[in-house]
């Protein structure tokens, strides 16, 4: 299956996704959850924060936590540097920066192109994986950002930064 580009898509079943690389694997999320894409900036560490919270940065006067998405997904830490980007997401706890290796693409797809994670291999995927998007030459994991983060832990990180 191919993501739709210029073909007409029924608005009721259309989803726009943005994809990015984490530890060499491609993931995507609903683009409506994304506020901005920024070049990597050095974070200020927070004492006693969860290991996946790298620290905080200020974005236009708003202090927000930066999460190493690779570490949070259990894939190991991301070696941050000038080639990395921070994807700014809006979550129930507020703005959160997601450290990723690179942003790849935006795509408009039909909702039924996503194969639900509970239908794959006896439901072995964690509940933050919405499903899988098989494309011509690759498999993209579709994440639900709101289910990846414990609001209590991120709320604590934001409070410590304030």
Helix (H, G, I), strand (E, B) or coil at 129: strand
Q: Is residue 46 part of a domain?
A: yes
- 80 domain-assigned: yes
Residue 2 lies in a domain: no
CATH number at residue 81: 2.40.50.180
Looking at residue 125, the DSSP 8-state letter turns out to be S
What is the chain's mean pLDDT, rounded? Answer: 84
**What is the reported pLDDT for 148?**
83
| pLDDT confidence band for 9 (50 / 70 / 90) | low
Model confidence pLDDT, tens digit, residues 101-132: 999 999 999 988 998 877 665 655 577 888 89
pTM: 0.82
Residue range of the domain that includes 130: 15-161
- What are the tokens at 59? 């974005």
pLDDT tens, position by position, 26-67: 999 999 999 999 999 999 999 988 899 999 999 888 899 999
Number of independent structural domains in the chain: 1
Residues 45, 43: Cα–Cα separation, whole Å: 6
Q: Does 10 map to a domain?
A: no
- Report pLDDT for 121: 59
């Amino acid at each position: 299956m191919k993501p739709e580009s210029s073909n007409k898509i029924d608005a009721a079943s259309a989803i726009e996704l943005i994809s990015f690389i984490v530890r060499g694997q491609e993931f995507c999320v609903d683009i409506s959850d994304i506020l901005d894409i920024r070049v990597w900036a050095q974070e200020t560490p927070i004492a006693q924060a969860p290991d996946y919270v790298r620290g905080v940065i200020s974005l236009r006067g708003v202090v927000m936590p930066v999460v190493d998405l690779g570490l949070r997904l259990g894939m190991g830490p991301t070696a941050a540097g000038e080639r990395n980007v921070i994807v700014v997401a809006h979550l129930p706890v507020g703005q959160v920066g997601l450290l990723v290796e690179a942003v790849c693409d935006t795509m408009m797809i039909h909702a039924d192109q996503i194969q639900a994670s509970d239908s794959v291999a006896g439901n072995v995927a964690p509940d933050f994986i919405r499903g899988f998007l098989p494309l011509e030459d690759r498999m993209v994991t579709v994440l639900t950002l709101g289910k990846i983060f414990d609001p209590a832990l991120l709320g604590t990180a934001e409070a410590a930064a304030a």
